[in-house]
Copies of this chain bind each other. A is one copy, B any other.
């Protein structure tokens, strides 16, 4: 298996929407495959018009950068110009959104897609994404950039 299936994507999106409703938020949720192409996108009634595309860009970022947006955010803060230019590279189809609510989907050590959530606060988007992926058995640990081998314990630290 190298790409998440539609069934897998729908399961994630359904759980994320339930979770968001439970905290009273209308969010958009996007799941893309390992190459960053959409598998499924769903906007809750009441979520703002651009949220599906924000969610999609978050999912794209986590898939093609192969790290959660929250890890990338630290890199972005230290090199803002470089980071803004990533989105202008010929192979980059969408803006690289390094922020909360952007998780790489990994199973059995293999990256199979990206998940993006938009519409709540940054913390809510992040919390929902993490809770949903954890509850469905996906792996949330990632090694720091460019490091071969096993993921580090404090994954957000050494970017």
Cross-chain contact A76 with B86 (CB below 8 angstroms): no
Question: CB of A140 within 8 A of chain B?
Answer: no
Determine which of B36, B45, B50 lies in contact with A89 in the assembled complex, contact meaning CB atoms within 8 Å: B50
Q: Provide the residues of chain B in CB contact with A34, threshold 8 Å.
A: 2, 35
A window 121-146: CB within 8 A of B? 121, 124, 145-146
Verify B43–A42 contact, CB threshold 8 A.
no
Tell whether, in the assembled complex, residue B90 and residue A93 are in contact, meaning their CB atoms are under 8 Å apart: yes
Number of copies of this protein chain within its complex = 4
A9–chain B nearest beta-carbon distance, Å: 8
Mostly, the A contact residues are loop
Contact B35 A53 (CB under 8 A): no
Complex-state Cα separation, A53 to B88, whole angstroms:
10
* Residue pair A52, B38 in contact (C-beta under 8 Å): yes
Please state if B6 and A45 are interface contacts (CB–CB under 8 Å). yes
How far apart sit A96 and B53, CA to CA, in the bound complex (Å)? 14
Docked-complex contact A6 and B44, CB < 8 angstroms = yes
Of all chain B residues, which has the CB nearest A77? B81
> Which A residues are within 8 Å of any B CB, using their own CB?
2-3, 5-7, 10, 24-28, 33-46, 48-50, 52-54, 56-57, 64-66, 76, 79-99, 119-121, 124, 145-149
Given pairs A85-B96, A88-B94, 14 additional interface contacts (CB within 8 A)? A6-B44, A35-B35, A35-B37, A35-B49, A38-B43, A40-B40, A50-B92, A53-B90, A57-B85, A82-B99, A87-B88, A88-B95, A91-B94, A119-B146
